[in-house]
Amino acid sequence: MSETEQPTNDQKKNFTRVLLEELSSQSVLIPILAVITGLIIGAFIIILTTEEVYEAWATSPWESIKVGWSAVNNAYTALFTSAIGSPTRIINALQSGDSLEIRRAFNPFLESLVASTPYIFAGLSVALGFRSGLFNVGAEGQLFMGAIFAAFVGYSVKGLPMIIHLPLALLAGALGGAIWGFIPGWLKAKTGGHEVINTIMLNYIAFRLSEWLLSGPMKRPETFNPVSPTIEESAMLPRFFENPIRFHAGFFVALGVAWLVYWFLFRTKWGFDLRTVGANPHAARYAGMNIVWVTILAMSLSGALSGLAGANEVLGVNHNLALAFSAGYGFDAIALALLGKSHPFGVVLAALLFGTLRSGALGMQLAAGIPIDIISVLQALILAFIAAPAIIRTIYRLKPSASGEDGVMLRGWGEG
């Protein structure tokens, strides 16, 4: 690639114009409609699985509709108040002036941010892969490796000041993930082994590895439970408020990393290479780009980001490594990377949405008796609608996008 081909296009467009273009095209409209449609279908699932609806059917269909509506209303109200907070409770708390009550009233919103943080990292990881034409299904395994490395540095290194220990633990997490990303990247570049299969295999290898480590080498000596020792205080991501608020510095680290990924992808030569290989590997090869290097780099970086997600959970929330601590962040990350159009800022927004949904669903389970698993169903539906915009266009009678095909297509399966 010649030096004159710097990524100037993105820089020259001014921000508001880009924003307007994005809004007027359907790239923002479709994700929003996808989320709304997902919630509507979720409502129908709630209605269909509420027994009272069928009991009310005996009285009259109208009664049954009313019961169904109130079930959905209860569920989504509970979802909202446990994700954002209840306005009345916040006002009451502020009036009472009791600091514990104020913290409790604001906690749902902050808890959603806590839940969003690993999603941001993992979403960035998958998005970076997509940008370079690679499908990283291995975010979950990389996340476990990151957590293992971060936890190990967190509890075994002692006596360091926080300013050294915390970054060291975070970097260790990134390294753990990067190794788990490097392997499929290297295999893809050197042998043509498809990264989807290899990352799936590595996911399970990582689970087993953590299982083994927690059954012996990394187990807390004094317990029978498969859990690692608590990390040193100097390695914990600092929290900003007292209990019960778990909101910690990891959220800002995630935002910073999102900006870094943006800068890397759109402002550096390596990022440009990466996107070119993703957009058209043949053209990239023709332009003399080193595809082997770019593939390895992209997978390693992608792994490092997922590793940070695991490190964030260990250093910020759990303060130890436990079996199966991840709630499938790595798989949800695929959905939210697509929802965010594989753009770092889009990913942040999508992650906030998913984090809010997940943290709200926990409250919904307690308050309205709707199992939290409905969230996975919603996420699957949203993912389906994003991946197949034609469905959304048909439902809402939208015209096909002017900017051409907007689906995601990756490098072929069989080709090396």
Binding residues for another protein (CB under 8 A): 45, 49, 135, 137, 187, 191-194, 196-198, 200-202, 204-205, 208-209, 211-212, 215-216, 328, 331-332, 334-335, 338, 370-371, 373-381, 383-384, 387-388, 390-391, 407-410, 412-416
Hey, what amino acid is at 400?
A: P
Cross-strand pairs, 239: 248
Give dist(CA 6, CA 140) in Å, integer. Answer: 34
Q: How far is the CB of 160 from another protein (least distance, A)?
A: 31
Residue with tokens 């697509």: 338
Q: How far is the CB of 328 from another protein (least distance, A)?
A: 8
Q: How far is the CB of 56 from another protein (least distance, A)?
A: 18
Pull the structure tokens for residue 150.
């971060």
Hey, what amino acid is at 252?
A: F
Nearer to another protein, 195 or 313 (CB): 195
Q: How far is the CB of 332 from another protein (least distance, A)?
A: 7
| Residue 353, C-beta contacts closer than 8 angstroms, at least 6 positions apart | 35, 336, 339
Nearer to another protein, 85 or 176 (CB): 176
DSSP 272-290: HHHHHHHH-HHHHHHTT--
How many other C-beta atoms can be found within 10 angstroms of the C-beta atom of residue 177?
Answer: 38
Nearer to another protein, 103 or 219 (CB): 219
Q: How far is the CB of 88 from another protein (least distance, A)?
A: 29
Hey, what amino acid is at 392?
A: I
Nearer to another protein, 93 or 127 (CB): 127
Secondary structure of residue 201 in the 3-state scheme: helix
Nearer to another protein, 36 or 205 (CB): 205
DSSP 85-124: --HHHHHHHHHH--HHHHHHHHHHHHHHHHHHHHHHHHHH
DSSP 209-267: HHHHHHHTTTS-TT-SSSBPPPPPGGGSPPBSS-TT---BTHHHHHHHHHHHHHHHHHH
Nearer to another protein, 314 or 336 (CB): 336
Pull the structure tokens for residue 415.
């080709």
Nearer to another protein, 309 or 378 (CB): 378
Q: How far is the CB of 34 from another protein (least distance, A)?
A: 12
Q: How far is the CB of 182 from another protein (least distance, A)?
A: 13
Give dist(CA 2, CA 388) in Å, integer. Answer: 37
Q: How far is the CB of 171 from another protein (least distance, A)?
A: 26
Give dist(CA 392, CA 386) in Å, integer. Answer: 8
Q: Are 292 and 190 in contact (CB under 8 A)?
A: yes
Nearer to another protein, 17 or 190 (CB): 190
Nearer to another protein, 192 or 244 (CB): 192
Q: How far is the CB of 409 from another protein (least distance, A)?
A: 6
